[in-house]
Structure 1
């Protein structure tokens, strides 16, 4: 039997934000410590980070920036959600981020139903979040959409069906999205481990191998690069 990751490679034309923007107008964004441009920024400040991202978009003639899978980031140090001093620091991002202006439409990656949703309203958290459940051949798996508007989770209920490419939500601003520059956190999850409306999007070094196996690279679906 084919693996889930192999089945993903057979899927085509998948978008999770504004379908009118071709992938040729996306540009990569590096938020790891190896990007020395970030040494001049307070990356935990949503407005400073947004200004930096805007410059990246302008200089690359792009409409959206993407990246972050299996990327170490320092911006999580500001929040006890990731760094409570009593457990191992979580600083490795295990979804893909798509950076674009707030109010952008968020689309269902594939046919699926609403598994759960909630407002994860801690500093540095997802803010409003929706998780869809999908089935592909014999596999049941999930996609998570984080950093949405409050309105996005007011008009849905568990079990609602969304078709591939159908508008699911809209992107929130820094006031509701965990205090980040506007972006979509998109993540694939094989085993949701009984969680509802939330699932870790950042992990510690010691648990990285588990999360990379349980949360495959979203680019296998999106095929941006």
Structure 2
């Protein structure tokens, strides 16, 4: 697969955004799965709207089932892939996902995915993780760290869109600010 760009925008409504709570390798983000190890906890008030940070399609979806919530696993879980299947994302700690959202749903950058949910005494936040899928659909998933990028994006003006280049060689993605 050739290098490609994906336009990205802030996943958390800036009016409810808070400080970052930890990125990859911080705050319990360890483990064998990319969607935990490369988690980025973006602080947000309970009820803050969460939007798709990029265009894609839903590949896995677990709606929020409050009775099943635990200290670490709570809220809806949404796995998405970019249109070319070269990049994936995982969103969790959401509730109020739109009716009709499910596996195969096409999502546009900026579409509402739900709102941030509170669980116990855990600081409210969106858990977002991204991976590059080297080689396309069935390729190796390699987590990427865009934590600082998203924290900065939350502070930009509303509607800011920044293209990010994925080289498809395992190197870190590069936000383009030119």
**TM-score, normalisation: structure 2:** 0.62
Task: Please tell me whether Structure 1 or Structure 2 has the larger radius of gyration of its CA atoms.
Answer: 1
Residue 12 of structure 2 corresponds to which residue in structure 1? 17
* In 1: Cα distance, 2:144 partner to 2:73 partner: 21
> What is the DSSP-based 3-state SS (H/G/I as helix, E as strand, rest coil) of the residue aligned with 1:180?
coil
Which structure is higher in RCO with an 8 Å CA cutoff and minimum separation 6? Answer: 2
Q: Choose between structure 1 and 2: higher helix proportion.
A: 1
* Residue segments in structure 2 that go unaligned for 5+ positions in a row: 135-140, 154-178
2:86 pairs with one of 110, 117, 140: 140
* In 2: Cα distance, 1:129 partner to 1:162 partner: 15
Q: Could you say what the CA RMSD is over the residues aligned between the two structures, in angstroms? A: 3.6
Q: Is the 8 A contact 2:93 2:126 kept in 1?
A: yes
- What does residue range 59-70 of structure 1 map to in structure 2 within 5 Å? 63-70=17-24
* Residue segments in structure 1 that go unaligned for 5+ positions in a row: 22-61, 77-81, 193-212
User: Does 2:125 correspond to 1:183?
Assistant: yes
* In 2: Cα distance, 1:109 partner to 1:63 partner: 14
Is the deviation greater in 166-175 or in 64-73?
64-73
Q: Is the 8 A contact 1:73 1:93 kept in 2?
A: no
Q: Choose between structure 1 and 2: higher strand proportion.
A: 2
- What does residue range 130-209 of structure 1 map to in structure 2 within 5 Å? 130-135=78-83, 140-149=86-95, 151-152=96-97, 155-174=100-119, 180-191=122-133
> What is the DSSP-based 3-state SS (H/G/I as helix, E as strand, rest coil) of the residue aligned with 1:147?
strand
* In 1: Cα distance, 2:55 partner to 2:17 partner: 26
* In 2: Cα distance, 1:73 partner to 1:187 partner: 14
Q: How far apart are 1:95 and its partner, in Å?
A: 1.6
- What does residue range 5-84 of structure 1 map to in structure 2 within 5 Å? 7=5, 11=7, 14-18=9-13, 20-21=14-15, 63-73=17-27
1:94 pairs with one of 34, 38, 42: 38
Q: Is the 8 A contact 2:24 2:147 kept in 1?
A: no
* In 1: Cα distance, 2:37 partner to 2:125 partner: 14
* In 1: Cα distance, 2:119 partner to 2:86 partner: 33
Q: Is the 8 A contact 1:68 1:93 kept in 2?
A: no
Change (3 A) 1:187 1:126: farther
Residue 217 of structure 1 corresponds to which residue in structure 2? 145
Change (3 A) 1:67 1:181: closer
The count of corresponding residues between Structure 1 and Structure 2 is: 141
**TM-score, normalisation: structure 1:** 0.50
